[in-house]
Chain A
Amino acid sequence: MSKSLLWRILRGFGMFWWDFLVGDTPELFVSTVFILAITAVISEVGHQHSGAVVVFLPVLVVASLVISVTRAVRTARA
């Protein structure tokens, strides 16, 4: 396989995942990474059995949806 063909395949693969995960909603990508990082920290310090993370995780997910919709509404009305 030539170097340029390999590069094109890798670039296409990378572009596909970039469009798929980031695309025109970078706020959803960033908020998901943030949510997972927060959950990892809470779990790491030994609170995985507490109710806090069970409540926080869905609440943060809903918050990220609301933030993204609010951003889209503002853009649509601008």
Chain B
Amino acid sequence: MPDDYQHDPHDIVSSHNRHRRMFLKTSALAGALALNNGLAASPEASERSGNSKLRIGALCVGDFSFWSYSWGDILSPRGVAVNREALGTGLLDMEITHVWDVDKAKAREFADKVGAEPVDRYDGMVGKVDGVAFGGFYEVPWQHILARPYIEAGIPTYLSRPFAYSLRDIEDILDCAAKHGTPIMATDIYEHLYGVTTLKKRIRTIGEIQCVHSTCLTHEYAALFHTPYMLQAIFGHDVGKVAVVTDDPNSSTYLMGTYLFNGDPEQKPFLCTSTMTPDGDLYSMDVTGSEGIESSRLPQFAEWRDDLLVHHTPMLVAMQKTFEGTMYEPLDNIRKKNEIFLTGFYSAVERSGAPVDVGTVPPDWRAVPARPDWIDPALLKRQ
């Protein structure tokens, strides 16, 4: 079972170092990591005024972004709808002050709605914000580059799922966070659903787990196949094998993932399956134990307001705590989640859906981006 979340930020470096030895054998960054493991805030991190909300930089706000889909509606300070309908009240202690997107027009459009200032460059908010959040999906293959200036500056950073498209990239991010002592958060929205904690409590009464079946409302593996993250939030990250069966991870007509959890002395290894059901519930999950079954499901919402409050807001609450300086979870959890995602991708495209041992995907192997030309490399040059 997973540890409880909300860790002491001072644990992140030691935990990170402890669990990444295998990777470091092949990592060129091993030496660099040893240089500075301090967690002191970078001088470039700005001081927060006691009378204002946290100043948040919104990165990647255009197509396929949580910013333009839901976060904008939740954080919109003046009740102006970004997508469908704003909550109309200041729910959290965060204010969007700066915006960047690969598409400047979309950045401007979003900024106008939330009363923020667009910046020209992806690193143009350093020194101006208390935290940054990457909301997009198409930018994730470049996220390790886009996030680096902020992590180096000690600015708490939220990373969009699936966090990175290679183990090398995620290690790059984690190394940088560890070196600069920057709180980072990398979660999937389903990790924050109340069904996670509810199931974690209820499955204590069903004996030894026999099997788990889950479904997810999605058409593809990389962005919206949320249940594998939810499974890890419930059962931990000790996954031995992953198999993903699909015709195309980025545009699936069928999709099924299998995750072998290793268990422990009191729990035999057990399999969790996740099946895509594009028109069904947001998720469903059935945990069969030796002495009973526990189930959970989240039907699609009838009202957008409920969707925002129940589905999307819990993650923003955790994000705010990260921006306040509290690590959501150890860095190694992030590495593990990304590794499990990449192992599934590797199973699908390199092994025809065969189970792949977690820990065997080559560090430089890259998953296939949904939009490989989404970002012009020229935009990534740092000033």
Partners in one complex: no
Residues of A within 8 A of B (CB): none
